[in-house]
Amino acid sequence: MKSTTTRRDFIRKLGISGAAANLVLTLPSLGGEASGQSKQRVVFVFSPNGVIPKHFWPDDEGEKFELKRILEPLAPFKDQLLTLRGIDNRIKGDGDGHMRGIGCLLTGVELFPGDVQGGSDTPAGWSMGISIDQHLSNKLQANTETQTRFGSLEFGVMVPDRADTWTRWSYAGPNQPVAPISDPYQMFKKLYGQVHNRAMLASVLDDLSEDFKKIERQVSNEDRRMLQQHVDLVRAVEKELQAELKQGDSPQSESETATASHAVPQLPPNVQEENDNMPQISRMQTDLLVNSLMSDFTRIATMQITNSVGNPRMRWLDIDEGHHTISHEPDSNEDAYEQLIKINTWYSEQVAYMAKKLKETPEPNGDGNMLDHTTIIWTNELGKGNSHTRNSIPFVMIGGGLGFKMGRSLNYDHQPHNRLLLSITEAMGHPEKTFGNPDYCGDGSLTGLS
């Protein structure tokens, strides 16, 4: 095991992960494959502060449409793309526009009365209901065929380290916000920590038994017996670990290993959670996300880029001021207007990168690529930043996970977004009569998606 030396080597060793990790960690296995049914996955992506509608929404409806500037990065996936204009977040009640924008986005229900005051509206607390991602996770976990190790994973990119209505969009239930993990190393630990530690242990034990020999000289024969027992134990564990790791490297499973080694992304070392590292962190998190979908650690994920009122300074785009600050500028401020297009285009690029990675990855034990079986739903807390409107919330879908008819631009006439949430759970095989506030669910799921 002396060869398991560098981080790189280690990660190579983790080539065992996809297949053997399940074995090692005695995880629930990949149920979907057994039933022969194709997997369905959904990833929700959040970006803050609304968009510039004019440069976001396609002008034409139907199958023939042109992508505007902000959506341009998604051009390679145009035939797998669906834009949904005219879907409104109608949830009223306590909380300011931003709070309800993020807190009701995936839940479709009001916020509890509380003491968090923002803007000029009434203060509020947490959401009164479960969010759609957690709802789907519960449904999938309840069935052995769709059960996965985590059920859902919550990624964050530069989400501030504080828990409030503006920093949470996923809820396990009323008053139960779910914190996203923004630190890629922490996420890595969650996903691969156990395998990782075993591999590290294997590489360390050899050194340890060497040192035992030196120490044995210090003690009497009688005491040496105890040390001997101890070192035998260490050797036995070492042997087992070696066997375990070898299994992952064996030629018989070469094809699996090839896929699997691809499954464990290689994180660059020592990346701090700092504003300027945001592009790199976004990459790292996306890589981890795609790879955990591939290993079937989960079929539901959220990726929350910053937070409601998120204020990253995109210096890499030569924009020094924070996003939220700029988003309040009137449309007449040409510089700000242009900057907001650039900023949103950058978010679009992040979505495109995720789509690209999914498309490049063959569906494990299935047909086509992973994007064919995954739908990314990119959305936003607001329709437009400076007006704080929650009409025409950006909803852009990419990929075939939900089985909707893609390659279209649709325009609904002010439909409550609860109906879209109903469509999503229905497409995942778990239709519901209502989701969130029933008042907005009267007409059921949206028509015309499939």
Partner 1 sequence: MKRPPQQRSRHLSETQNHEQQRCFRYDSVVCCSLLVIHFSMILLDSHNATQADDTAAGSTEVSIAGEPTTEQGGGQQDKKRREHGATIYQQSCQSCHGASGQGTREAFDRPLVGDLSISGLSKLISKTMPEDDPDACVGDNAAAVAAYIHASFYSKAARVRNRPPRIALSRLTGEQLRQSIADLFGHFMKPSVTTDARGVKADYYNGTSKKTEEKRIERIDDVIDFDFGKESPGKEIDPKSYLIHWQGSLKVNRTGRYEIVLRSTCSCMMDFGSDRRELFNNHVQSEGREEFRRSLHLTAGRAYPFEISLYQRKRKTEQPPAKISLSWVPPGGTQEVIPKRHLIPERLAGTFPLQAKLPPDDRSYGYERGTSVSRQWDQSTTESAIEFAEIAIDELYPSFRRNNRKVSDENRNQLRSFLNEIVEVAFRGKLADSTRKLYVDQQIDLSEDDGEAIRRVLLLTLKSPRFLYPTLDSDRSRSQRAANRLALVLFDSLPSDAWLVNAANKNQLQTDKQLTNAAKRMVDNYRTQAKTLAFLHEWLDLKTTEEIAKDKDKFPEFDADLVQDLRQSMDCFLEDLLESESSDFRQLLQADWSYTTKRLENYYGSAWSYADPEKGETELAPSRQDSNIHVGVLTHPLLMSNLSYHRNTSPIHRGVFLTLRTLGRVLRPPNASFTPLSPDLHPELTTRERVQLQTGEVNCQACHQQINSLGFALEQFDATGRFRSTERKKNIDTTGSYRERSGTEVNFDGARELADYLAESKDCHLAFVESAFEHFVKQPIAAFGSETAEKLTQSFRDSGFNIRELLVTIAVTASRQPLPDAKKP
Toward partner 1, which CB reaches closer, 287 or 426?
A: 287
Q: Least distance (Å) from partner 1 to the CB of residue 280?
A: 14
Q: Least distance (Å) from partner 1 to the CB of residue 283?
A: 17
Q: Least distance (Å) from partner 1 to the CB of residue 3?
A: 11
Toward partner 1, which CB reaches closer, 188 or 412?
A: 188
The contact set with partner 1 (CB under 8 A) reads: 5-7, 94, 111-117, 122-126, 162-165, 174-175, 185, 197, 200-201, 203-205, 207-208, 210-212, 215, 218-223, 226-227, 229-230, 233-234, 237, 269-270
Q: What is the sign of the dihedral through the CA atoms of 76, 446, 147 and 110?
A: positive
Token pair 């609904």 is at which residue? 412
Toward partner 1, which CB reaches closer, 79 or 115?
A: 115
Q: Least distance (Å) from partner 1 to the CB of residue 437?
A: 17
Residues 6+ apart with CB under 8 A from 30: 22, 296, 365
Residues 416, 125 contacting (CB under 8 angstroms): no
Residues 129, 171 contacting (CB under 8 angstroms): yes
Report the 10 Å Cβ neighbour count for 262.
17
Q: Least distance (Å) from partner 1 to the CB of residue 113?
A: 5
Q: Enumerate the β-bridge partners of residue 111.
A: 127
Q: Least distance (Å) from partner 1 to the CB of residue 197?
A: 6
Toward partner 1, which CB reaches closer, 93 or 362?
A: 93
Q: Least distance (Å) from partner 1 to the CB of residue 269?
A: 4
User: Cα 450 from chain centroid?
Assistant: 25
Single-letter amino acid, residue 51: V
Report the 10 Å Cβ neighbour count for 221.
6
Toward partner 1, which CB reaches closer, 94 or 154?
A: 94
Q: Least distance (Å) from partner 1 to the CB of residue 378?
A: 26
Toward partner 1, which CB reaches closer, 34 or 233?
A: 233
Query: Tokens for 372?
Result: 């064919």
Toward partner 1, which CB reaches closer, 66 or 223?
A: 223
What CA–CA distance (Å, rounded) separates 65 from 163?
Answer: 41
**395-398 and 374-380: which strand pairing?**
antiparallel
Q: Where are the alpha helices (DSSP H) in 14-81?
A: 22-24, 31-35
What CA–CA distance (Å, rounded) separates 47 from 34?
Answer: 37
DSSP per position, 281-317: HHHHHHHHHHHHHHTTSEEEEEEEES-TT---B-GGG
What CA–CA distance (Å, rounded) separates 440 from 109?
Answer: 9
Q: Least distance (Å) from partner 1 to the CB of residue 435?
A: 21
Q: Which is nearest to 242 in space by CA: 202, 209, 207?
A: 202
Toward partner 1, which CB reaches closer, 233 or 317?
A: 233
Burial of 94 (0-12, 13-18, 19+ CB in 10 A): buried
Q: Could you give the C-alpha distances from 368 to 264, 360, 363, 424, in angstroms and in order?
A: 21, 10, 6, 22
Q: Least distance (Å) from partner 1 to the CB of residue 136?
A: 24
Counted residue by residue, the chain has a size of 450
Residues 98, 382 contacting (CB under 8 angstroms): yes
Toward partner 1, which CB reaches closer, 67 or 271?
A: 271
Toward partner 1, which CB reaches closer, 27 or 234?
A: 234
Q: Least distance (Å) from partner 1 to the CB of residue 97?
A: 16
Toward partner 1, which CB reaches closer, 85 or 168?
A: 168
What CA–CA distance (Å, rounded) separates 257 from 262?
Answer: 8
Query: Tokens for 203?
Result: 């590489």
